Amino acid sequence: MRQHTTNFQKQNYQPLQPKKTPEKKFGKILGWGIVGLLLVGCLLLFFNEQIRDWTIANRSQHFALKHVTSNDILKNKKKKGNYDFSQVQPIDSKTILLEHPNYSGVIGAIAIPDVQLNLPIFEGVGGDNLFYGAGTMKEDQIMGSGNYALAGHHIFDSLYGDNSSMLFSPLQNAKQGMLIYLTDKSTVYSYRITSVTTVGGDEGEIIYDKGEKSLLTLITCTDAEATARIAVQGELVKKEAWEKVPLLQNVFNQPYNKDYDLQNTVFN
């Protein structure tokens, strides 16, 4: 018996699909939007410290000595700095990203090749000074004279622990005998480290002048809670004119807050 195939049977039958309403479309878009926001939030949380460090490293290049002259530095030294330590801000991604840096005020630079430290120096500890470099701790300080004291942040994070190369973090690796270089782009001052100690936050006398000695004192926190301070002190051993030491100029021309072998890059 011949079977008859109807047109209905020949067709590829598809069950009827309910039409999507605008409400369902909106709900789907909203759902994916929430997922996207959560994903972005997780990425920002995970890369929070990397974003902070990248921002500091890149912004700090605007303070490079190549952007200023010795006359600019002299003018900046005459500006009044903020020495209210209670206004020193903690360093975190939110603060850094919301902050609008004022790319001026450089009065010099500091470099310690043995520990990969290379930073701009600013007058005082206020504003964004300590976000990008080192700040003078007393008014009217003069490089190569008295006890020239600088403060800087120590970065602690989950990636490097306390071994960050940012700001004053490398001071934890400082040792007696290492050389520290300061410059105001007129003179380069060389100091040899004589002591690396831990002091309490209330032991401010460590930055006082000591008679006729020409000293350098560098201060940073020992831990994230700032329970104590690392104090690195050195004595002046040499002063040289900026234009006569091209090798040391090369030290200061290296990028700030970058993780690389400063000692071998410059001296080898």
Q: Which amino acid is at 237?
A: V
Report the candidate in 153, 165, 166, 150 with the shortest Cα–Cα distance to residue 91. Answer: 153
Q: Which amino acid is at 5?
A: T
The residues annotated as belonging to the active site are: 153, 221
197 within 8 A of 231, measured Cβ to Cβ: yes
Q: What pLDDT digit, counting tens, does each position of 87-108 carry?
A: 887 787 777 777 777 777 999 9
Count of positions (residues) in the chain: 268
Which position has the token pair 């994230």? 224
Which pLDDT band holds residue 40 (cuts at 50, 70, 90)? very low
Confidence of residue 52 (pLDDT cuts 50, 70, 90): confident
For β-strands 147-151 and 215-221, DSSP reports them as: parallel
pLDDT for 259 equals: 60
| Domain residue ranges of the chain, discontinuous segments joined by + | 43-267
Q: Quickly state the pLDDT bin for 197 (edges 50, 70, 90).
A: very high
Please give the full DSSP string across 106-137, using - where no structure is assigned: EEEEEEEGGGTEEEEEESBS-TTHHHHSEEES
Q: Judging by DSSP bridges, how do beta strands 179-183 and 187-199 pair with one another? A: antiparallel
Q: Which two tokens stand for residue 214?
A: 């020409």
CA angle 86/89/91 to nearest 5° reads 150
CATH fold group of domain 43-267:
Sortase; Chain: A; (2.40.260)
Q: Each residue of 95-142: pLDDT tens digit? A: 777 777 777 799 999 999 999 999 999 999 988 899 999 999 999 999
Q: Work out the burial of residue 178: count CB atoms within 10 Å of its CB; fewer than 13 is exposed, 13-18 middle, 19 or more buried.
A: middle
Model's pTM, two decimal places?
Answer: 0.79
Residue 37 tokens, joined: 């926001």
